[in-house]
Structure 1
């Protein structure tokens, strides 16, 4: 049976709804498609919705109600004027079309008088949008109208009205609502809609400033809304055909709109969420006139009669493949938009419109991750599927696209929440880190203050005298424990942050910083296995801060005065627990620039004819560029028996196992020359001989003896004249090892010398040699012993009792031995006996009393007890000490009048520093 009249079709449709044969939504869709001019009559559409049995039942029902089945009327060409509730939903323009033209025009003129037109909001190819005030309702709207003159072009008015009708019927939160439709006084059609801020997705993608405000998650949230709007339109039987960033509008309050439905076209059927492929009529693209330049932002233009923007038109549209053209052309264009969001680039960018069209058909776009490596894989896979040349390989619907992006956003939201939680934990970690930083200063102050309080307290004094210092030491120990707890808390917080967000750069950087500090401390304390362990942790958590540093070489530049010195480099390597300079490498002559070496401890030997060779040890750290300025001196300038120590930086203190070690500090000490050995009995007896020529009393006062004013001298005037050590200076096994008759006693370091005796000897040498000879300062002594790399002993970091003279070096009772006996006890500069043999007076007390201050204190008279004299410092281990005293950073203080059989001294010679070339 065929239905011939629209009115009969309407009656049947309403009856079908009452009987439940047709859902109200289906009835609404049918009415809309009739109003849009789908090309199918109302009767045909109703027939498609009902079975023959249902039609027969409804016809019988209508006949019983008096409805004639064969009303004589001309079938309407695609328009409906329904008199039921469904007819109320038909567009206003369809209702107006049923009235005489004069009546319609006068009514529309009166209606548009309510709008007060304002500024233009934008102009397109045929239309203009202006801001208008609806004076009846009192709201501002966007009024779109055709430009004057374009109405003469075929189909323009029809397309404009179709755009208005389609947009009006697509009631969706992401499609701009249409309020009114009519004609202006000049007869130009118009429609009004909500005013939306004129900022598009294209504006965001084209602006670096705006792009920073729109994270990927935020952009994908907008993309989902566009996808849902498109899915809704497809379900209503409409395809957009001009999806591009310019047509995605962004409102002031987060609204997202898919705009510009001027190229929209009805499908031959609705699209479900999982549609079959249904064809629609479409005109093939003609390529004539496409050689002009293509501007992606402007979109280019197409010849009249063709729809869409080059670069967003699907390949099947370009080919005119009618059987395959359906809603998936919009999926393709939406994929292009997604590609631009993910990469900032167009997948088919080319210099001309023709080239863009050809690229769309033939070129496979680069995967987004090759452009932006951080692009999420799920979005890359979705984007590439949407851009498939074959429409059957694209997602089945815009609903599927939205669901895929939703899945990403759900994960992104979870990741965002976890990142937020990780950020909070990282912020919390700053508190214990700051506490650790503050406690470091407090601990150092407590340790220094405790040392100050206890340094003047004698061991035999009662506990009451020591308690204040002990309390400070206990507080310092508690502060150190609190620092350990603070570090552990920070590590725990950062670790928990990584459990929430394994990629948290802040947490990883925080852990890398913590472990780097520990690695540095281990390196400073020369615990190399621990350093390697912490550096491995630094590499594990580093976010780029330390990667280059961990692999970096070191560099050295050397200038000498005079220039032209050959530079030989030796790297220190450990052999049998002693650091040995090995692997000689010639670097060139000075001035030497940017010589690249692996990080480590080196000895540089500088050689130039006419000058003494210079030993210049240096610690080259990763990434450092060491600049050395070295003066060269002749043998005569340095002097016989002296070792030249060139000026420069060295690591002082910082040995946790040394006695009274100073805090670790990098110090610069100028040039000086230090005696290779402590002063021997031979040298000191020459001094006594000189004194005796002036006054025997002076000689007796300075002669080594164990008690001031007693007869316990260890040297005496010889029968033939001159002073000499007594034969009983050595006893037992040591005397057998070094018999007096062979002259060994002369080479013993002089002992039983107080600080003022040593100063008197320095004056004698200064007068004799015409140069400034004095006791070394603490830092001069320590640098001469350790070199520049912070080693614990002159030979390295490990101890063995055979390396120097101390209490377990011999199988018999230890006693003094001649200088230079222990060949391993030599510093990087070549200075000998600085770990064992004899303790040595120095001229100052570092940080408390300078050499000048000490000289300014008068020598006490002979009747003053030694414990009434002021403090002085001595360095080095000795033949009666343990290995802790042998450490180069160990120091001790005692009364200046102290004399002991294990206490001696050595001298330094001041060298005048010369300017470099």
Structure 2
């Protein structure tokens, strides 16, 4: 697609004495967007400059300032981040996160050109991410007003980023748009906007519906030759039946689209979160199955569309086994308490929930065929949706009792299970349909509003609550059980801590059960505070005869978790806002299923009720973080948070993605990572990274403190960015625990192997520790615990250096003086460059560590040269002991050749050479190459193997240099200037198989054979 030319070209200019404009990106009617460089933080940014004629309009400038100020407050993984707003004389500009990738509009256009549709499973997940972003903006009082595919970016990791809040409106503030004016894009504009009316959250809901319609059907519902004609269609015409364009879509998805596109705003979904919930139900139930044709793997067939990113794998809490697969014995670890997911009765429970929501189509599909490992006791409820509270002696009551609080006392409780969520309208409706009981008085015409299916049922008596629990094969919780489930073993006043103001609940009404993510108790039970009052049984302190107790308060009458509302259960004012959650003494153990082959536990943290601890107290803050992270925050120097959960694991592989969302400073020190085999509060192993000094440490925690079992250097981490900036990429940490042997991997590179037998089993979790840093907020994602591969016989492939050249202070040499024949050093944003500036000139740059037997790999390309014909060569330098003593493994793109050189005082001796046709790292002057070339050398003894882009080209033997430094080599022949960019450098163990598989070339008879 040809980009429009800017009205005024700013390329080459510097704004505010700081931002250097590098490239024009795009422009609209209000502003132009450029890519720029921020030298202070050494990163690329996007800069939006409003057009000069609008800069003279005070109202427009005020709206632009409003956009910047409002969007800067939105810190969400699916919303573009605003860094700064300023003006350079009369030029107003906004500095934003630079997102590399494609717009959703470009993706849809590619599919359309290929005669295809984006697979439904991918469509659902993309729209869910957009809904999460929009819901977050709405929660902060902002309406986007211009939602459309062109304003949605898909970055190179497949992450969805909502862009361009250029016409944002702050709810409750004066609208600076002229009366009667329409703001937005016609194809995605709601009927009320088309009529010139006020836009609110529901206008964005309509636009989301249009986008979903377009992604499914391949075209928007309304189109025409003129803007006015399109707007009139939005106002007056019925939405075309989407099944005419896509006949095989599930009926439930049709209903979601139709509801979002209702002409009357009151008939639409009332929040973006409601759309996201409905779509997640389709996804999790398999109502929209994952695609199995060519569209689901975008590069699997020649005709498949390449949209420039790898879509994320479906996130499911239950993974299906193929229906026709031969049964195998269940894979078990030594631990007897492995956590699995099950369905069994849970399927029936889900059916109850989703029948009322009209979401049962395609429910009983092959996707739900799971090999069951244990049986079901028919008289017990399923454990699904319930939380276990262990037997113990607990404290209940209040230190200063009054008429509403009983005195503090100890109670001994047996193990029990309690519902994670309050009983919803949909669940209660199923009970009514079976038992033919009367509906709650608060249901209009005997039915609850369709959009309130997942709201807690309210207005039921104590007897009705007990009857429901009995029908569900459960019972009412005792008062003591309820209070412990709400307060935890530490006796908090509220589920989240002692400070009532730490979590803000609505001041009236109710909300969907479990949707207030911070309203969660230490046991992972939701909404114990507020929402609806809850009936309990068996008081632990005396109450008058024939009276009952409600606990938990309501949103308009919030009380602490020891508060007892005692009264006559038959009086309407007593039960008007009363609901229920149930308990049980025993449950059916989860119908165990291996999540995937050899996988014991998997959590993508998309479910806020997955059971991980939650805390917001003092300097510590951990729990679910939308949309799909588990966060751990330590907000005080010299402090530590360790979070883990049952069950115990011993011989397993544990892996998780982690990034640092933000810190207070750019220089403070801290460490974070994975915890394994935690057997007590201060007995565990921790596998950590320390970003400030680019290192890793393996710790053993004991009652006396930490013992460092091993440590080393780490050249680069992806998941750490300057203060206030969220990284674009997470780091992957992995630990293989096999008996007393542990192998630690960082970003898929093994860095250390240790042996320690002290802790044979224990819990898995996360570790964050501050030193002089005052705040660290870490995001953990994609935790997997699976069967470990046997590493008891040792392991090869330990990585010693992994440098992505994102850190200008990583220690590599720098030279950039005028008049010198070369320059080299860090090149922003993430390269190391080497440049000889004259013909017949060469330069070798190496780091200080001495290596013998190693595998060395780099990604490299030619940034530019002086001529189009001059010859030069570049590559890796190994075993350098002096300026003119080393080996060089090079490629020469102009002559399409490779050379292995031995450099000595006498000059360069060619040990081997040949032709190569696969080089891609060179392009004509002014053009960036398609991609880098990968060069690899494995050195073992006096034998070397050279690979180019994965293809072995030579095995040579030479015994002259036995050890030395590793680095880079660039040589000009008749070329006068060659500027080479190295993207990465990996130094690890040599690969004997790579050496054995390379063709031998002129072996030195005196050389030692490869070992």
**Larger helix share, 1 or 2:** 1
TM-based fold match above 0.5:
no
**Larger strand share, 1 or 2:** 2
Structure exhibiting the larger radius of gyration computed from Cα positions: 1
